[in-house]
Amino acid sequence: MSFGLVLPLILWISILATQRVAGPVYHFERFLGDVLAGSATKPCKLRDGDQLKELCELLNRATEAQRAHNAAAAATSAPETAPDAARAA
């Protein structure tokens, strides 16, 4: 009887703990992929309660220059607002 009561509790705790570690690792993979692809301009952020926040801060510091470069490149490649109006004048 007690095994039937304890097992769901153990499963719930293990799923919660796994999500608090596996979620950030997945987020780091996507973040670093975006940085390498040149599309990451915002810093890495994790949910409240997630583990590995120190690693997220280190990733932000390590990728700060690349993210600034990506943001500048995105700003310069933005299309002009009215190219036809400039030609008509």
Write the secondary structure of 34-69 as one string of H (helix), E (strand) and C (coil). HHHHCCCCCCCCCCCCCCCHHHHHHHHHHHHHHHHH
- Does the residue 83 lie in any domain? no
- Does the residue 88 lie in any domain? no
Predicted structure pTM score: 0.66
Predicted local distance difference test score (pLDDT) of residue 83 = 54
Strand boundaries in 4-89, DSSP class E? none
- Does the residue 51 lie in any domain? yes
- Does the residue 28 lie in any domain? yes
- Does the residue 2 lie in any domain? no
Full domain range(s) for residue 50: 13-74
- Does the residue 3 lie in any domain? no
pLDDT one-digit tens code per residue, 46-79:
888 788 899 999 999 999 999 899 889 888 886 6
Predicted local distance difference test score (pLDDT) of residue 88 = 54
- Does the residue 85 lie in any domain? no
Number of domains in the chain: 1
- Does the residue 81 lie in any domain? no
In angstroms, the CA 41 to CA 48 distance is 21
